[in-house]
Structure 1
Amino acid sequence: MTDTAECNPKPTEQKPTERDDTHLTDIEEGAGCTEIWEHLAEKREE
């Protein structure tokens, strides 16, 4: 017989979190990682 932990995960109630993604509003829908990285780099330079 082996010792095993019981796996009975209990659902947790998660509150919707507010996302601070306003820095991404200028990025076009469907942009890839490179476009996002370039956009963020440009914002840092400003």
Structure 2
Amino acid sequence: MTKAAERSPEPGEQDEHRDDAHLDGIEEGAGCTEIWEHLAEQRENEE
């Protein structure tokens, strides 16, 4: 069985309602710090 993170998105899954949409814009292989910074920036932009 293929993990969701390893498969290509199906047509129609490429919208902000995906479970992993909050990770858009993060380079593959990014570490915890990069992910944390990205999420913190998103929160700042929402306020």
Counterpart position of 1:5: none
The runs of at least 4 aligned residues of structure 1 exceeding 3 Å deviation read none
What percent identity do the matched residue pairs reach?
A: 79
Matches within 5 A, 1:14-29: 20-29=19-28
TM-score by length of 1: 0.57
Deviation at 1:22, TM superposition (A): 0.5
Q: Which structure has greater helix proportion?
A: 2
Provide the rounded CA distance (Å) in 2 between the counterparts of 1:41 and 1:22: 15
Question: What is the TM-score when the length of structure 2 is the normalising length?
Answer: 0.56
**Unmatched runs of 5 consecutive residues or more in structure 1:** 1-15
Distance in 2, matches of 1:45 and 1:25, equals 16
SS at match of 2:41: helix
Q: Choose 1 or 2 for highest CA Rg.
A: 1
Q: What is the Cα-based RMSD across aligned positions, in Å?
A: 1.7
